């Protein structure tokens, strides 16, 4: 199991039955593969669909069925399509129960930066600002480091997506919960110790008592994941 799958499986454990969930571009879309058997969720995308599923088998793609990033998706029975104005009304109106987004940085107060790198060509903000502000819960799914540099920092050096604190941060080595006191270390990936997380984080962490191992569902993981952190 690689790092991306580990993150997606852990995020999937946060899904709740009969909820409306938005998945951001990239790694967050993998969460659709690992929905627990006893949970029924309705995935929403900014381009105007509710009820999409995982990428269809090769050769079964439909050019009219994509997520906000243009990746092919499948449509579940009962799926609905509508214009982007309606889609953003759902987001801005506070009707999205959970959004899962990628991240470039998160700071000690739980602020996310994920929409622009000054001077570099990136896809753009999409619905990120609306989602972080409007969704009831916000989970950031990302690698803990990028080319050896920590992505969890004391203060953002990139423009923030929103001033609102995110709900949870799930990386390839840990699960962190932003609070008014700071970032609380909640779980560790298999084979990872507290000091490993501290060494890969550019801000202080709050560690209370014994830290649980990361919850990823029924499948057992071997210690030492493939690509457990980007170096």
In the set 5, 14, 46, 149, the catalytic residue is 46
First to last CA, the chain: 18
Phi first, then psi: give them for residue 105, nearest 5 degrees. -150, 150
Residue with tokens 């550019």: 202
Count the helix, strand and coil residues of the chain and give each as a percent rounded to the nearest 5: 15, 30, 55
Neighbour count for residue 7 (Cβ, 10 Å): 29
- pTM score, two decimals? 0.91
pLDDT in tens, the chain (231 residues): 899 999 999 999 999 999 999 999 889 999 999 999 999 999 999 999 999 988 889 999 999 899 888 889 999 999 999 999 999 999 999 999 999 999 999 999 999 999 988 887 766 667 899 999 999 999 999 999 999 999 999 999 999 999 999 999 999 999 999 999 999 999 999 999 999 999 999 999 999 999 999 999 765 444 334 444 443
Active site residue 187: no
Tell me if 96 sits within 8 A of 134, measured CB to CB: yes
Tell me if 54 sits within 8 A of 74, measured CB to CB: yes
Q: Hey, where are the domains in the chain?
A: 3-213
Phi first, then psi: give them for residue 221, nearest 5 degrees. -105, 145
**CATH classification for the domain delimited by 3-213, as one of 3.30.450.90, 3.30.930.10, 3.40.50.620, 3.40.1080.10:** 3.40.1080.10
């Amino acid at each position: 199991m690689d790092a991306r799958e580990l993150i997606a499986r852990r995020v999937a454990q946060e899904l709740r039955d009969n909820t409306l969930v938005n998945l951001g571009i990239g790694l967050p879309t993998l969460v659709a593969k690992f929905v627990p058997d006893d949970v029924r969720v309705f995935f929403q995308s900014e381009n105007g669909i509710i009820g999409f599923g995982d990428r269809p088998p090769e050769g079964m793609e439909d050019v009219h069925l994509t997520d906000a990033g243009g990746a092919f998706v499948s449509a579940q029975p009962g799926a609905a399509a509508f214009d982007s104005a309606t889609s953003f009304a759902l987001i801005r109106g506070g009707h999205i129960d959970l959004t899962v987004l990628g991240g470039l940085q998160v700071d000690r107060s739980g602020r996310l930066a994920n929409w622009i790198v000054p001077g570099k060509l990136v896809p753009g903000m999409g619905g990120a600002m609306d989602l972080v502000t409007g969704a009831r819960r916000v989970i950031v799914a990302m690698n803990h480091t990028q080319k050896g540099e920590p992505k969890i920092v004391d203060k953002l050096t990139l423009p923030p997506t929103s001033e609102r604190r995110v709900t949870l941060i799930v990386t390839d080595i840990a699960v962190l919960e932003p609070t008014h006191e700071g970032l609380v270390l909640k779980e560790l990936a298999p084979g990872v110790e507290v000091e490993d997380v501290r060494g890969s984080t550019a801000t202080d962490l709050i560690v209370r008592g014994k830290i649980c191992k990361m919850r990823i569902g029924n499948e057992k993981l071997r210690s030492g994941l493939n690509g457990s952190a980007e170096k």
